[in-house]
Structure 1
């Protein structure tokens, strides 16, 4: 019983979870002159409970228990400080730092617009990510397999990869006939060069004796590429996906803020244009949530699809 209490109950994460819930019982000094005032804490409470349930479900893994406690404690401390300082004491300007109740209530009142923007952004991100990764892996493997091609192409790719995609994003959005094509181009270029160089380098990591054995067996070059080199490096490609995902989302968000009429970045831009910082913060939180979920999905897929590592 003592072990159960120390593991699941008596910890910093649970303490601040309870303190945040208790804050709802305190009188609020949130600015009465704000239109709409303080919203219902229901949506915020649902988020708190969801975080707590996820936290408790992860504690069963003893290897990750300490890290899970530390991360969850940090989240609950932040939410408690936000609730206590803003919603209860009203110590910060409510226009720029809205109450958490008001921010999370946006997901209830504006859920349809947020979902439409989510699906619009995901369509572009997944398409651009797939095209850039597949083409860079195949072309990078081809170049890395031939030393002469490597010496000729690698310096050029290295020079091009140093130019951040955010620099030329406004130009691409301007010259492309449609925003969708512009977004795909921006996402593609933001990922391609780095992934292309990674594929060249990864090809060099394949043990020479494996390639030699394949040649002795008289395997064709495409077979060596797609049955030996690329599967051998698959863990490296998957490990790089979270970085590519973050890069693609960042560039797409900038592109949407420049010329889109829907999407997660567009939602934040419009909210900022109308000085609706409550919606803007809700949009930023939603983008962070989406990136986190996609990264977790990538790690889960890696465990099920790739049974080897090095």
Structure 2
């Protein structure tokens, strides 16, 4: 208990030092620290919520927030107070968080557009990959035909196909969906075939004795059996999809999270580039939290 109390105390001590340093005069001229301080306040509030909501994880939460405060403190001293870093490549934190206040509409619009493409690609890819995989896994002839193909294509990152897909598809939005779909479909397809192989033979024999049709076997036996594995892999699925989407947007989009980063990178505005990277990190974190919630509700017998 003493260690936990010390870690909490240490994190708040670091916070006090960080806020004090922010208000000290520095060698580098920056934007107003208001946005930076507001972001710190939000992080601290979330940290306090974690302390209250999950008291058994206080030490780990304190360790994470302490590392974050240390990173901010080093960055603030090196860049703003001492002006010891590259003026373009390493912008001040005040300037980075000021971008969120100035560009929040553009960022929000980009996130919404990206999420529309992301969920379309993931849902279609998962649905087709799971259903077709179960069908091929159940039918020996189809399995012998398509399993070798899936074994070859599943490990290939779909971003390899992105330049060609963007060239042949009528719009960039449809091309982005296809890139995500390809990255999700083949792993889901292969995993579904393997899930049929792993099912207990007694379950199959019992279902056959009940005289179930192939369609009933698919939707009443195979699909429920493979469902937990699909849900458990959603975090990896969405993380992979965000990576593929961001890459695709960097190649030819005019809106989206990836476009925001590559657009301002072209102009050498690394303040906005870093802000864009933070947005991607926040989106991935939010998606991970949503997936964890879905997992708790969809497969309640699993612990997360």
TM-score of Structure 1 vs Structure 2, range by shorter chain: over 0.9
Among residues 137, 146, 169, which one is paired with 1:176 in the alignment?
169
Partner of 2:17: 19
Are residue 223 (structure 1) and residue 216 (structure 2) matched? yes
Distance 2:287 2:268 in 1: 30
Retained in 2: the 8 A contact 1:235–1:309?
no
- Report the CA distance between 1:194 and its aligned residue: 1.2
Are residue 142 (structure 1) and residue 135 (structure 2) matched? yes
Distance 2:39 2:198 in 1: 45
Distance 2:169 2:251 in 1: 13
Residues 70-97 of structure 1 deviation map (CA, whole Å, 9 limit, x = unaligned): 2222222212222221122211012111
Among residues 160, 164, 188, which one is paired with 2:157 in the alignment?
164
- Report the CA distance between 1:57 and its aligned residue: 1.6
Residues 48-67 of structure 1 deviation map (CA, whole Å, 9 limit, x = unaligned): 12212212221242442332
Distance 2:224 2:69 in 1: 42
Distance 1:65 1:233 in 2: 36
Among residues 125, 129, 138, which one is paired with 2:122 in the alignment?
129
- Report the CA distance between 1:151 and its aligned residue: 3.0
With over 3 angstroms needed to count, the CA separation of the structure-2 counterparts of 1:63 and 1:200, relative to structure 1, is farther
TM-score (norm 1): 0.91
Instruction: Give SS of 1:247's match.
Output: helix
Retained in 2: the 8 A contact 1:58–1:65?
yes
Residues 82-117 of structure 1 deviation map (CA, whole Å, 9 limit, x = unaligned): 222112221101211101111111110011111111
Distance 1:249 1:156 in 2: 25
Are residue 192 (structure 1) and residue 148 (structure 2) matched? no
When the two chains are superposed, the root-mean-square deviation of aligned CA atoms in Å is 2.0
With over 3 angstroms needed to count, the CA separation of the structure-2 counterparts of 1:138 and 1:280, relative to structure 1, is same
- Report the CA distance between 1:220 and its aligned residue: 2.4
- Report the CA distance between 1:5 and its aligned residue: 8.4
Retained in 1: the 8 A contact 2:262–2:273?
yes
Partner of 1:29: 27
Residues 253-305 of structure 1 deviation map (CA, whole Å, 9 limit, x = unaligned): 12211111111111111100111111111001101110110011000111012
Greater mean alpha carbon deviation, residues 85-94 or residues 293-302: 85-94
TM-score (norm 2): 0.93
Instruction: Give SS of 2:233's match.
Output: helix
Partner of 1:47: 39
Are residue 107 (structure 1) and residue 95 (structure 2) matched? no
Tell me how many residue pairs correspond in the alignment. Answer: 302
With over 3 angstroms needed to count, the CA separation of the structure-2 counterparts of 1:77 and 1:131, relative to structure 1, is same
Greater mean alpha carbon deviation, residues 211-220 or residues 114-123: 211-220
Unpaired runs of 5+ residues, structure 2, are none
Distance 1:272 1:65 in 2: 39
- Report the CA distance between 1:147 and its aligned residue: 3.4
Instruction: Give SS of 1:218's match.
Output: coil
Instruction: Give SS of 1:39's match.
Output: coil
Retained in 1: the 8 A contact 2:78–2:85?
yes
Unpaired runs of 5+ residues, structure 1, are 31-36
